[in-house]
Amino acid sequence: MKAEHYVGGIFRSDGPAFPLLAPADGSELGTVPEATREVVDDAVTAARAALDGAWGATGAEERSAALRRIAGGIQARFEEFVDAEVADTGKPRELASTVDVPRAIGNFRAYAELLYGRPERAYTTQVPGWSAGTGQALNYTVRRPLGVVAVISPWNLPLLLLTWKVAPALAAGNAVVAKPSEETPSTATLLAQVIDQAGLPSGAFNLVHGHGAGAAGEFLTGHPGVDAIAFTGESATGAAIMRNAADHVTPVSFELGGKNPALVFADADLDAAVEGTVRSSFTHSGQICLCTERVYVERPVFGEFTARLAERARALEDYGPMISAEHREKVLSYYRLAREEGAEVLAGGGVPAFGDARDGGFHVEPTVLTGLPETARTVREEIFGPVCHVAPFDTEDEALRLANDSPYGLAATLWTRDLSRAHRVAPRVQTGIVWVNCWNLRDLRTPFGGVKASGIGREGGEYSLDFFSEPVNVCIQI
Ligand code: NAD
């Protein structure tokens, strides 16, 4: 797989190249071109030209058809996309073929459909004049694309999260300049090939590769020709992008980090709660923003739950590596810190030895910790690895206080059979998403996003289309 930029309908690979390593075994997969300021400039210029030209003239029906062709193009090369995602991330093949690639197709299909049913002119009202003596007026609101949109995505769900922004941005009529993570450039390059084949006007979608700080990501988000930024990644990166965007007052949509709590009440179906927490803490080795890192368990079932969770963690086999040697070192530094802070390690806590090629990769053991105070850094900071800390609670109010005592607020999971409790507790949890007796069950039309340091704005369905378009009110005196 050769990573290439895609600018104004042309594939190119200028800029210095950097190596791409396979997280599964540390081997070199190829090289990636680093976009210079000139490449980024060219991409923004091409996007602007597309808006002023053929792409800007398309109607909703045409754009909807284009999104369907892109979905079909990914479907037709399904296995290639799966291979590329598995190679770049090291994630289990089953995950890439049941979640990442199908969801990318789903993202384009969902917005093709939503767009089809969405009126171009909305909220038509006829109101009496509210300023004295002006008479009656007819107000109507049109939605206009924002213009050139920068999309910056992370490495954990490379294709899924990229398309989660690109699909609604294109649906709403914007031109896109996307920069995927430097760790995972391959499926983005395949997507550019599919979009090229789908026959979108040149410049409607552009792709530049490269790093973030001091490089392509920074050049793009600080570019005066960019009208909006949609970013998923770490909260600290979001803050840096916001500072960079401030000079041009560029609007942002942010999906950031988390330190997600699970609350397990004593009345829960314990089998489901244990299995659900295994999934929510260890899927993709904890490298999903929605993963649980804090588990609070009502005291009567604390001992049994914790013992069963630790046993399941020890028995896990196919959990995939950390994305890079650097990220593995970060996760291991938290395993060491947890011990220094006084944690009891119930499962894992180190590096596994497989006795095969995987030992050259970047794996860490699924880890269950307990015994730390809420002030411990291990309990407060996002680790983004296969690790959770389990602590007991005695009352519903205490559970809520513990769950909410975090700088983050992305997703929470409640495990209870008491319907009233679920409805009572869910709205009081300070996160953007609350799952009850499930985890990561997604309807693409629902609002997705976080509060506090976990983000700004919501994605999904109409929420994304609202971000990627500007309502313009037209008032006619009658
Ligand atoms: P990251 O913030 O390091 O990088 C994300 C992207 O930003 C990459 O493309 C990177 O090159 C770019 N970038 C980095 N510095 C930049 C800068 N100064 N200016 C412009 N661009 C810059 O995040 P990551 O390590 O790739 O991903 C993991 C993080 O993403 C975790 O914190 C995780 O919680 C978060 N995440 C959040 C969601 C969500 O929906 N809320 C989803 C997935 C991941």
pLDDT value of position 123: 47
pLDDT value of position 67: 98
Out of 40, 99, 218, 232, mutate this one to test ligand 1's pocket (max ligand atoms within 8 Å of CB): namely 232
264: enclosing H helix or E strand: strand 260-264
Q: What is the pTM of this model?
A: 0.96
Out of 234, 324, 381, 446, mutate this one to test ligand 1's pocket (max ligand atoms within 8 Å of CB): namely 234
User: For 248-305, how does the pLDDT look when each residue is reduced to its tens digit (9 = 90+)?
Assistant: 999 999 999 999 999 999 999 999 999 999 999 999 999 999 999 999 999 999 999 9
User: For 447-460, how does the pLDDT look when each residue is reduced to its tens digit (9 = 90+)?
Assistant: 999 999 999 999 99
User: For 95-109, how does the pLDDT look when each residue is reduced to its tens digit (9 = 90+)?
Assistant: 999 999 999 999 999
Nearest by Cα to 116 from 165, 65, 51: 65
Type of residue at 223 = H
Residue 323, pLDDT > 80, answer yes
Mean pLDDT, rounded, for 75-94? 97
Residue 116, pLDDT > 50, answer yes
The residue contributing the CA closest to ligand 1 atom 15 is: 212
Residue 219, pLDDT > 90, answer yes
Residues 6+ apart with CB under 8 A from 27: 21, 360
pLDDT value of position 141: 85
pLDDT value of position 359: 94
pLDDT value of position 40: 98
pLDDT value of position 126: 55
pLDDT value of position 385: 98
pLDDT value of position 140: 82
Torsion of CA 409, 452, 382, 284, to 10 degrees: 50
Residue 132, pLDDT > 90, answer no
DSSP 55: G
> How many Cβ atoms sit within 10 Å of the Cβ of residue 419?
9
Residue 124, pLDDT > 70, answer no
Contact between residue 378 and residue 338 where contact means Cβ atoms under 8 Å apart: yes
Mean pLDDT, rounded, for 208-222? 98
**DSSP of 96-144, one letter per residue?**
IIIIIHHHHHHHHHHHHHHHHTS-SEEEEEEEE--STT--EEEEEEEEE
Bridge partners for 414 per DSSP: 263, 436
CA of 220, closest atom in ligand 1 = 20
Nearest by Cα to 258 from 130, 4, 440: 440
The residue contributing the CA closest to ligand 1 atom 20 is: 217
- How far apart are the C-alpha atoms of 183 and 439, rounded to whole Å? 27
pLDDT value of position 119: 58
Mean pLDDT of the chain: 95
pLDDT value of position 478: 77
User: For 22-61, how does the pLDDT look when each residue is reduced to its tens digit (9 = 90+)?
Assistant: 999 999 999 999 999 999 999 999 999 999 999 999 999 9
Joined tokens for residue 42 = 């060219």
